[in-house]
Structure 1
Amino acid sequence: MIYEVDELDHGIIKCLAEDGRISFTDLSKTLNVTEKTIRLRYKNLIDKEILGVYGIVNPIAVGLKAGAIIQIKVKPKSIAAVIEELKKIKPIRYITVTSGEYPLLVQITVKDQEKITEVVYSINEIEAVTDLNTIIQLDVHKNTFEYIR
């Protein structure tokens, strides 16, 4: 069953996206409801897995300054197996199934060009992979985790 996120839930999510350390007291003042209401709604959002609490790392601040998007072609009927192998490659931070010529797309964020090359070689060693198209990211202008506006 899909949980319907209402206006108050949206408000809580939006405030937390702007400042993940905002107190329930400040949230209640901002959204003009009681602190108890905020606590209950917050717990519900967590329990329903609509909201998760994570530390987001600034990749540049920890020396990860290079990135690439890699499109992957695979042998017929092997997408699931390739996904399992891709999950084992640590620098891969995003895997998705796509439409079009390349059914898989991964994104990596690494320290330098040499590490991109290592990852490409690792992917190429997966038996069911038939072709790769690597797109080097030159500059990132927006990278957000804000899904509800």
Structure 2
Amino acid sequence: MSSEEFDSVIDELDKGIIKQLSKNGRMSFAEIASELDVTEKTVRKRYNQMVDNNILEVVGVVNPITIGIKVSAIVQVQVVPQYIDEVITSLTNIPVIRYVTTLTGEYQLLGQVNVRSYEELNETVKKIYQIPHIQSTNVLVQMDVHKNTFEYL
């Protein structure tokens, strides 16, 4: 969906609701209504419409450090082009890889790995190396996260 199509699907009130929930996902409809100077019923209706239309998804986000995830890495993967779908399937089947995307450029795929230790990272990288049709990888260990937001508006 292009930004023009997105803007025609939601209006400023919808954007306001999304912004409020992006700041605090537990904010009540009454609190959002007060912030946006509309009724609670209006907020509830708009919220439900956005959820029903897959515009908005409200989920709990875990702080990885609090559950023992201490090591994160980005793995860039160069693949034999005709086997990219097979490699994507293999990567997405590794539980500690939480994000896989296709790329332009030298590497065709990128995966984000979140694990409890460097030993577990090493084991995960070994699993990745065993996937057929991978030509090369580049593993980048994340040192410090300076920004991680879910605010898109």
Q: Does 1:67 align with 2:75?
A: no
The CA deviation at 1:76 is: 2.3
SS in 1 for 2:14: helix
Q: Give 1:101's match in structure 2, choosing from 81, 106, 109.
A: 106
Q: Aligned Cα RMSD in Å?
A: 1.2
SS in 1 for 2:113: strand
For residues 109 and 6 of structure 1, what CA distance do their matches in structure 2 show?
A: 36
The CA deviation at 1:5 is: 2.1
Q: Give the structure 2 partner of residue 127 of structure 1.
A: 132
Q: Give the structure 1 partner of residue 48 of structure 2.
A: 43
Q: 1:1-149 residue pairs with structure 2 within 5 A?
A: 2-3=5-6, 4-148=9-153
For residues 35 and 124 of structure 1, what CA distance do their matches in structure 2 show?
A: 53
Aligned length: 148
**Which AA in structure 2 matches 1:133?**
N
- Per-residue CA deviations over 1:53-88 (Å, capped at 9, x if unaligned) read 211000011110111100001112111111111110
SS in 2 for 1:53: coil
SS in 1 for 2:146: coil
- Per-residue CA deviations over 1:110-149 (Å, capped at 9, x if unaligned) read 111111111111111111111111011111111111111x
**Which AA in structure 1 matches 2:81?**
P
Greater Cα offset, 139-148 or 63-72:
139-148
SS in 2 for 1:44: helix
TM (normalized to structure 2)? 0.92
More helix by share: 2
- Mind listing any 5+ residue stretches in structure 1 that lack a counterpart? none
TM (normalized to structure 1)? 0.95
